[in-house]
Amino acid sequence: MVQKAKILLVDDRPENLLALEAILSALDQTLVRASSGEEALKALLTDDFAVILLDVQMPGMDGFETAAHIKRRERTRDIPIIFLTAINHGPHHTFRGYAAGAVDYISKPFDPWVLRAKVSVFVELYMKNCQLREQAALLRLQLEGGGHPGADQEKEPAGLLAELSARLAAVEEQAEALSKQLDDESADAAAVATAAHLERKLTGLRRALDALEPGTGSGTAALPS
């Protein structure tokens, strides 16, 4: 069973959170509510999120301050943030949003289809990164000769390599399809950059796997983190 990605929704108004849930429910992911910046930061201490939808105008800690805290933490600094605002203060206000670390800045009322499409891109990128980390962990165990005794360790090395290669090939195929989709849709620069980073990590993992093949190298290779 594929684990669902978590999406953090941050807004001090319950009706806005309800509207976001209605729009994003079609993505069939886990939606987590936070009614303040402080509540959002607390949720980020324990859970991993694919993307954060963050209201700008909130009492107390506003969206800009919340984003600054998120970007200062090593655990959360790479989570994409989409700012939502009901007030258009012009280019300076928008620039402040990007300077705070947002990947996008959307004014209310927004097009539900556009918001859902933007969020879905970051969910897909998150899922591909999760798959890549799993494959890297499996390969690292094989390189180090670790892991718990079990069926996998009873397999011949060639069989293990073939299985890892097949799993990696499936991720590579999905990542390539996503990259083509981003190119076709002229997606946000942040999404394109994230996809490119994923492809580089895939390339590194493929090289490490190839180095383990008999007669292709010394049997050691650096793995992507």
User: Does the pLDDT of residue 170 top 50, yes or no?
Assistant: yes
Q: Is residue 128 exposed (0-12), middle (13-18) or buried (19+ Cβ within 10 Å)?
A: buried
Task: Provide the CATH number for the domain around residue 189.
Answer: 1.20.58
Lowest mean pLDDT among 20-24, 27-31, 137-141, 217-221: 217-221
Q: Which parts of 84-156 fold into alpha helices (H)? A: 91-99, 112-144, 151-154
Q: Show which of 110, 130, 149 is a domain's final residue.
A: 110
| Residue of 129, 119, 145 whose CA lies nearest to 195 | 129
User: Does the pLDDT of residue 156 top 80, yes or no?
Assistant: no
Question: Do 106 and 142 share a domain, yes or no?
Answer: no
Q: How far apart are CA 172 and CA 184, in angstroms?
A: 18
* AA letter at 25: S
Position 88 confidence tier, pLDDT thresholds 50, 70, 90 = low
pLDDT at 131: 80
Give the rounded percent of residues in the chain with a pLDDT score beyond 90.
32
